[in-house]
Amino acid sequence: MQIYRVDMTEGKVTTEEVKEGYAVLGGRGLTSQIIADEVDPTCHPLGANNKLVIAPGLLSGTNAPSSGRLSVGTKSPLTGTIKESNAGGTASQKLAKLGIKAIIVEGQPKNGEFYTLKVSKDGIELKDASSLLGQRNYDLGNTMRGEYGDSVCVVSVGPAGEYKLTAASIAVTDGEGRPVRHCGRGGTGAVMGSKGIKVIVIDDADAPGVSVKDKEGFKAAAKDFSKMLLDHPVCGQGLPTYGTAVLINILNEAGGLPTKNFRSGRYDGADKISGEAMFDRINERKGNPTHGCHPGCVMRCSQVYNDKDGNYLTAGFEYETIWAFGAHCTIDDLDAIATLDRLCDDIGLDTIEMGVTIGVAMEAGIIPFGDADGAIDLLQQVGEGKPLGRILGNGASFTGKAYGVTRVPTVKDQSIPAYDPRAVKGVGVTYATTTMGADHTAGYSVTANILKVGGHVDPLSKEGQVDLSRNLQIATAAVDSTGLCLFVAFAVLDKPKALPRVVDMLNAQYGLSLTVDDVSELGKAILNTEREFNKAAGFNNSHDRLPEFFKEELPPHGTTFDLTDEELDELYNF
């Protein structure tokens, strides 16, 4: 495998052999290590000295189930911290099959030009993309497939990335060519835009494929692991049927569904926007409630959502998106939320960041809570680059400062997702302490707090939450390096033989002799690398805190986020 280095200042592409220390790294492990090795932590995230690193996971491109996650690493313009954001879609598998370990993009075009990166078995070619500027992601994908063929993967930024807005995402197309899988969090799309890259086209025609040293051993381990996923009630039943939106009613019942900018843990309109309601509507309109975001995914938690006339509207309609524009903004119209999701995909925006931002805009009185048409208009203003749109497109913290709002649910300037930390305290620890800014996926304690997967830790008590979050953050850093979807964690936590089979796949593919303990050590090493980068960038324990309004009591339980600063500071004691 090779690493490609794209120098945007000089307009040239070079290849280099994989360093010895990088050979056993992939995904997040590799992106974070390269950023730590090559980027000055004090640099401006949108300047020439930042870099964008794109890397497939260690297992991507193989027949390992649900192993198509792509990692993008950089210094975040939203948080100022190191950032890894990952997405499904077909990019990771295609890059791995082309023998690409990573693509490192550095420098900036001298005169602000934009380019297309064409990636194929012949290498990487830079092409002028000036004619593509202003195109949104859906039209852009159609343009690229018209030029390069229907089978290519398109990785792109919409107008938000061109404008370098810090809520901008990087869109990755799914198997049907829709730009619905996003490296959403942290403003990675703004960095891609700052590098002068409008679109990356990945064509794996005649690719050499992924080499596996022990093919029979790998096949056996992959088959066993796939069966474990399918046999698990969450991975094999809940997610394929209702998607991640199955959590709407579950969190609402638990009193942990943040409502009206985190004023309550219950939303009266939850039934109207639930996974069950979405399932019924999709079937009524002849959409597809069970869809894989990339080939080989056995959990298939994505879906295709049609409008009232039976025409395609959006896909990959996630719980966090439905919550952000739904309960958080008190909008109970599922079609309106789907339209907002479609707009974010098209403009190239993180749905969590934008949903929370719209809630802050409602808090500021720009539009009233519950105003679906007003929310749609605000997103359109972001896509059009209007002055208010430019404010909103830079996220919730920026918007709160612009309008003097103090009730702004962010950590390190990144919006807090769909679980109230007063009712799901383990995830509150994760929000506060993760190296990435508020991010539920960094240590998804909802598993033990709410779903009773991998044991049970009382979500309303602070006891055991630091240990739970720490262990999950370590495990997640390792999983993010494999290319496996985070949702495999449900089976890994409940089935003692699942993680050893992941290790068996890695050993069979690379000819290694890793143990389960080595996986844990990898996770710890990644977190330490990321934390050291953040320290050098000026972050310390005082930044590992939630906003002060989380000391207010949360209905219906009347709980507060009561972990002390000292307890939060114990998380990184490994």
Give residue-wise pLDDT tens across range 60-117: 999 999 999 999 999 999 999 999 999 999 999 999 999 999 999 999 999 999 999 9
The per-residue pLDDT for 219 is 97
Give Cα 26 to chain centroid, integer Å: 16
Domain with CATH 3.60.9.10 in the chain: 2-202
Q: Do the beta carbons of residue 305 and residue 321 sit within 8 Å? A: no
Please compute the mean of the pLDDT values over residues 454-483 and round it to a whole number: 97
Chain centroid offset of residue 18 CA: 26
295 burial (CB, 10 Å; 0-12 / 13-18 / 19+) is exposed
What pLDDT does residue 20 have?
Answer: 87
Residue 432, CB-side half-sphere exposure with 13 Å CA sphere: 33
Please choose, from the candidates 171, 210, 177, 178, the residue with its C-alpha nearest in 3D space to the C-alpha of residue 67.
210
Residue keyed to tokens 């039976």: 310
CA nearest to 182, candidates 350, 413, 382: 350
Task: Examine the pLDDT at 295 and tell me if it is beyond 90.
Answer: no
Query: How far apart are alpha carbons 83 and 67 in whole angstroms?
Result: 21
- Which pair of structure tokens corresponds to residue 343? 């707009």
CATH topology of domain 250-420: 1.10.569
Average pLDDT over residues 396-403: 98
pLDDT at 296: 86
pLDDT in tens, 355-366: 999 999 999 999
CA pair distance 179, 152, nearest whole angstrom: 12
AA identity, residue 5: R
Count Cα atoms within 13 angstroms, Cβ side, for 412. Answer: 31
pLDDT band per the 50, 70, 90 thresholds, residue 492: very high
Rounded distance, CA 157 to CA 135, Å?
A: 9
Region 42-47: mean pLDDT is: 98
> Does the structure show a pLDDT above 90 at 164?
yes
Q: What is the pLDDT of residues 195-250, one digit of tens each?
A: 999 999 999 999 999 999 999 999 999 999 999 999 999 999 989 988 899 999 99
Instruction: Kindly state the tokens that stand for 25.
Output: 């790294």
Cα–Cα distance list, 146 to 128, 150, 185, 229 (Å): 17, 7, 30, 37
Count CB-CB contacts under 10 A for residue 565: 11
Contact (CB, 8 A) for 514 and 64: no
User: CA nearest 81: which of 49, 37, 47, 36?
Assistant: 36
Every domain of the chain with CATH number 1.10.569.10 lies at 250-420
Rg (the chain; Cα; Å): 22
What pLDDT band is residue 406 in, cutting at 50, 70 and 90? very high
Confidence at residue 293, expressed as pLDDT on a 0 to 100 scale? 87
In this model, does residue 500 exceed pLDDT 90? yes
Hey, is 482 helix, strand or coil? helix
pLDDT at 375: 98
Please give the average per-residue pLDDT across 104-131, as a whole number. 97
Residue type, 511: G
Return all residues near 116 (Cβ < 8 A) that are at least 6 apart.
126, 127, 128, 129, 132, 144, 197, 198, 199, 200, 201
Task: Please answer whether residues 308 and 339 qualify as being in contact, where contact means their C-beta atoms are separated by less than 8 angstroms.
Answer: no
- In 278-412, DSSP assigns E strands to 288-291, 302-306, 312-315, 410-411
HSE value, Cβ hemisphere, 13 Å, CA-based, for 216: 0
156 three-class SS: strand
> Tell me, what DSSP letter sits at residue 508?
H
Per-residue pLDDT, averaged over 502-512, amounts to 96
Question: Which three-class secondary structure state does DSSP give residue 455?
Answer: coil
The tokens 């006339």 sit on which residue?
309
Task: Give residue for tokens 């690719």.
Answer: 207
Token look-up 């009730």 returns 407
Topology adopted by domain 2-202: Aldehyde Ferredoxin Oxidoreductase;  A, domain 1 (3.60.9)
Q: Return the half-sphere exposure (C-beta side, CA atoms, 13 A cut-off) of residue 253.
A: 9
Smallest CA-to-CA distance from 121 within 94, 156, 91, 85 is with: 94
> pLDDT at residue 281 above 90?
yes
Q: How far apart are CA 140 and CA 101, in angstroms?
A: 26
pLDDT at 27 over 90: yes
